[in-house]
Amino acid sequence: MPMPSLGFNRQVVRDNPDFWGPLAVVLFFSMISLYGQFRVVSWIITIWIFGSLTIFLLARVLGGEVAYGQVLGVIGYSLLPLIVIAPLLLVVGSFEVVSTLIKLFGVFWAAYSAASLLVGEEFKTKKPLLIYPIFLLYIYFLSLYTGV
């Protein structure tokens, strides 16, 4: 959870974009999403790359100073909340209401962490315009995991 009150420095992630760490997170998310459907691995990687490109273009249009590598890293690392909720969904899968609440919590957590890392002080007022597509991207990731 990238919160400055917990001592987290956002500039470290923005100044040092990473590729292999987010790729490992995306591949791990792909592996737990298999359930006998091998096509989902290529879909998750494709959605990660092109979804990050879309978020990058939106951030640049809105006036943000981000690089594609930064967006790729942030979107990849922000899949961690969906990996955290995956075992919980296996346990409470039969309870529809609880399962839906856990899914919403995971998607909101992932979207919040990605948006808070991407949105700098330069376009803080336009944050909702970037949060919405990030939220939709993580809903799509979760739908690939759940098979819906």
User: How many domains in the chain?
Assistant: 1
One digit per residue, pLDDT tens: the chain, 148 residues? Answer: 555 555 555 566 666 777 777 888 888 888 777 765 667 788 888 899 999 999 999 988 888 788 898 899 889 888 888 888 888 888 887 788 888 898 899 999 899 888 888 876 666 777 788 889 999 999 988 888 776 5
Range of the domain at 27: 18-146
Confirm whether 5 is domain-assigned: no
Q: Six-digit token pair at 136?
A: 């939709």
52: which 2 tokens? 């990050």
Could you give the C-alpha distances from 74 to 11, 110, 119, in angstroms and in order? Answer: 12, 10, 11
Q: Is 6 within a domain?
A: no
pTM beyond 0.85, yes or no? no
The answer to whether residue 56 sits within a structural domain is yes
Is 123 within the bounds of a domain?
A: yes
Structure tokens at 97: 């209401």
Q: Is residue 136 part of a domain?
A: yes
Cβ neighbour number for residue 100 with a 10 Å cutoff: 10
